[in-house]
Structure 1
Amino acid sequence: MQTMRDHPTLWIKGSTSASLAGKTIVLAVTGSIAAVRTVELARELIRRGAEVYAVMSEAASWIINPMALHYATGYEVITKITGAVEHVEFCGMSGKADLLLIAPATANTIGKIASGVDDTPVTTFATTAIGSGIPLMVVPAMHEAMYNHPALTENMEKMRSWGIGFIGPEIREGIAKIASNEEIVLQVERQLGSKELAGRKVLITSGSTVEAIDPIRILTNRASGKTGVELALEAYRRAAEVTIVHRNRIGFTGIKEIYAESASQMTEAILGELACDYDVLISAAAIADYTLDPADTKIKSGGELTLHLRPTAKLIGKARTEHSDLLIAGFKAETGTGLDELLKRAKDTMEASKLDLIVANDVSGSGIGTEDNEVYILTAEDSGHIHVKGSKKMIASALMDEIGHLLMSRK
């Protein structure tokens, strides 16, 4: 087999992140029509730094030509077991694979794996991986009637008892459809990630809140919630139990979402959740500072309108009062300040609110609603700061690094 550097399509390796850097993934493809999705799936795994090798059943090759996955992965596709004992090379006791990912997996293949039947390259790889203790993740895809068969349910439960993970499916249009590539990649990242937050519960507020003026009009702000979402995803990758409170929708399995629209709803939701023994609260939402009593009916347009605003309750103060041992991270957004003044205001807020960590940034030019940002991370334990400029995904990673260090220091 040629090396990665020999293939001209692999310039994308690590272009999105390094979350799977140094990991070798065997992508096993079976004879579902969803096999057409695997070219882009392989590319997404590679964009996160993984080396990907493909193995296909004969039925899969009727749907997608092996050349397509050769292109996608940079390696020749394994379509049969030869004297090179490919299944042992990758999934044997000293195999090079970190994960065997069967995507898509038909009902037939799942039944064979559960029964120890070994008659295709994919099932041979699965048998070997299970016997060697190499992680195996399965992504079902089939008609809903097949997915509802009691034998399939029993087979999946049996495989789960062996430690095999399942991703999806999504039940739509009478079909148990293959999970989205985004979902698959996230679950793979969690499986192969650091596990540094395993056993930790992380609660995150995200985005803007809205305060009703009347049944139609609202007061809000420009916060998009992108940073909060990236924080939730990053905490999940690191094996945390994650809850996010916002008025958006992520839709990833394993991340609990609570809808909250107004400042009072968000505060109530957070304080209610904190009763469930969280380790970390990250207050990334731009919670409204002011609210009002809304009109019961639409206010007629035309002429001047005066609104009477009153301050909202401060979430962090309530959380700190009720949970003195909770690790709390806050955000401080300013406009038009120099760096020294920004850092001073952040430190003052951190001390006044008894925060463990604060993220400060000047949003005059970017940050709100943008894909990237420039921030300064300060902790109560350190007099300095960390400067991070780049994507919000990068910023989330840096922030979770600091939170991980703070949690470790408390042990």
Structure 2
Amino acid sequence: MTRVIQSSSSLDGKTIVLGITGSIAAVRCVELARELMRHGASVHAVMTKEAQKIIHPEAMRYATGNPVITEITGGVEHVEFCGMGGKAHLLLVAPCTANTIGKIAHGIDDTPVTTFATTAFGSDIPIMIVPAMHESMYNHPIVIENTGKLTELGVEFVNPAVEEGAAKIAGKEEILLRAERTLGGKKLAGKRILITGGATAEAIDPIRLLTNRASGKTGIELAFEAFRRGADVTLVHRGCIGIQGICESTIESAKDMAKIVLEELSKGYDILISAAAISDFTVTPATEKIKSGKVVTLTLRPAPKLIRQARQKYPQLKIIGFKAETNVTEDELIERARESMKASALSMVVANDISKGGMGAEENDVYIIDSNVKHISGTKRYIAAEIMNKIEVIL
């Protein structure tokens, strides 16, 4: 096994049994195992005979650093990992064929993977299934029925991407995120969190836009972190992350952002995290493309202020604001953040000086301001986790 450089500690101390069945998507399991390990998990592979025809057990032994289970022996491996008090925290069957879904649904355990599943059911160990098969098989009414039956029994499914006639295995990043949520303690379970992220854009004409440098990474990392902790998450932004379980609304302008957010808030949320870099100005767009090669004068007018509108309409709502400034001292930055906090009755403000970096970058340097001030630097994932730690206390 080559050395794994750990990306986070989200799965530290967790043992994941990776059940591999006879789908061509089994070739993705080396990288899936490594991705889980990069976040602290210990991974043990269990393979059916059909899976071994597609990827050699030695490849998985190399990937995980652990012996691969290809048959149930006198060592009763299924009990060691998935029995009462067993080592496993999660049985992850990826990829999972239609055949294996059917067997697990009917308690048939004639392969190492299905024997592990039967044992995990009896020990209340979480089971996560990641299907991969031809589209026609995935659409079979009995496969759909078996999937529904297992869902009712508490099995979690990470649905495939259906394209090119195939129900393709979900990406390793999505599988990782779902595993983190399952194993993460769910401290925000039952909480509804609305997050805005990224830049908005104001149309100048049918082709051109006025926007800013915000990448939306902070909003996405906040959505991921809230999801990991069990919250029901809605993300409003210009992009699309396409993660099952995270609701998304795609917008373009500041007006769109305000309209969608205010409509969403009417459905009942515990907190609004306003991390988007919403345009301060808008223009009246031309109906046709403005001809190039000449000087154009644009008249800017103030765009709607989302936080102000949200506070007026929902006076009891908890709101987290973000404050970006340029070329100010630390004291000035904190003072301006406190002014915003007071003006809109915010629970917390995250402030930074973007002239020193952060906008569009992977890392940032911010001040988290509530009754105290906390200065943190690091990746946006790390900063999102620190913000969520504060939000856990607020909620």
Secondary structure of the structure 1 residue equivalent to 2:294: coil
Aligned counterparts, 1:37-56, within 5 A: 37-56=28-47
Amino acid at match of 1:351: K
Deviations 1:6-35 (A, max 9, x none): xx52443xx111111111100010111100
Deviations 1:147-189 (A, max 9, x none): 1111111111111111011111111111111111111111111
The answer on whether the counterparts of 1:10 and 1:73 sit within 8 Å (CA) in structure 2 is no
The answer on whether the counterparts of 2:4 and 2:37 sit within 8 Å (CA) in structure 1 is no
Deviations 1:320-373 (A, max 9, x none): 111122110010111111111111111111111211010010111311110000
Amino acid at match of 1:95: G
Aligned counterparts, 1:3-402, within 5 A: 9-12=2-5, 15-379=6-370, 382=371, 384-402=372-390
- Could you tell me which residue of structure 2 aligns to residue 5 of structure 1? none
Deviations 1:248-268 (A, max 9, x none): 110111111111100001000
Worse-superposed segment, 298-307 or 140-149: 298-307
Secondary structure of the structure 1 residue equivalent to 2:230: coil
Amino acid at match of 1:168: N
- Report the TM-score when normalising by structure 2: 0.98
Deviations 1:25-64 (A, max 9, x none): 0001011110000000000000011111111111111110
Deviations 1:184-205 (A, max 9, x none): 1111111111211111111111
The CA deviation at 1:301 is 2.1
Q: 1:81, 1:157 → 2: CA distance?
A: 28
Q: 2:151, 2:9 → 1: CA distance?
A: 29
Q: 1:303, 1:385 → 2: CA distance?
A: 49
Amino acid at match of 1:143: H
Query: What is the alpha-carbon root mean square deviation over aligned residues?
Result: 1.0
Secondary structure of the structure 1 residue equivalent to 2:355: coil
- Could you tell me which residue of structure 2 aligns to residue 403 of structure 1? 391
Amino acid at match of 1:397: A
The answer on whether the counterparts of 2:199 and 2:215 sit within 8 Å (CA) in structure 1 is yes
Q: 1:73, 1:324 → 2: CA distance?
A: 52
The answer on whether the counterparts of 1:10 and 1:74 sit within 8 Å (CA) in structure 2 is no
The answer on whether the counterparts of 2:4 and 2:34 sit within 8 Å (CA) in structure 1 is no
Secondary structure of the structure 2 residue equivalent to 1:364: helix
Q: 2:9, 2:315 → 1: CA distance?
A: 36
Q: 2:94, 2:4 → 1: CA distance?
A: 24
Q: 1:257, 1:128 → 2: CA distance?
A: 37
The CA deviation at 1:312 is 1.2
The CA deviation at 1:302 is 2.6
The answer on whether the counterparts of 2:22 and 2:51 sit within 8 Å (CA) in structure 1 is yes
Deviations 1:204-259 (A, max 9, x none): 11111111111122111111101001111111111111111111110111111111
Deviations 1:99-137 (A, max 9, x none): 000000111111111111111111110000011111001
- Could you tell me which residue of structure 2 aligns to residue 3 of structure 1? none
Q: 1:308, 1:149 → 2: CA distance?
A: 58
Q: 1:194, 1:181 → 2: CA distance?
A: 21
Q: 1:230, 1:122 → 2: CA distance?
A: 34
Q: 2:27, 2:366 → 1: CA distance?
A: 41
Secondary structure of the structure 1 residue equivalent to 2:356: coil
The CA deviation at 1:304 is 2.2
Q: 1:318, 1:105 → 2: CA distance?
A: 48
After TM superposition, where is structure 1 displaced by more than 6 Å over at least 4 residues in a row? Answer: none
Q: 2:145, 2:323 → 1: CA distance?
A: 51
The answer on whether the counterparts of 1:57 and 1:121 sit within 8 Å (CA) in structure 2 is yes
The answer on whether the counterparts of 2:72 and 2:112 sit within 8 Å (CA) in structure 1 is yes
Aligned residues: 395
Any unmatched runs of 5+ in structure 1?
1-7
Q: 1:394, 1:236 → 2: CA distance?
A: 15
Deviations 1:350-397 (A, max 9, x none): 111211010010111311110000001011xx2x21111010010111
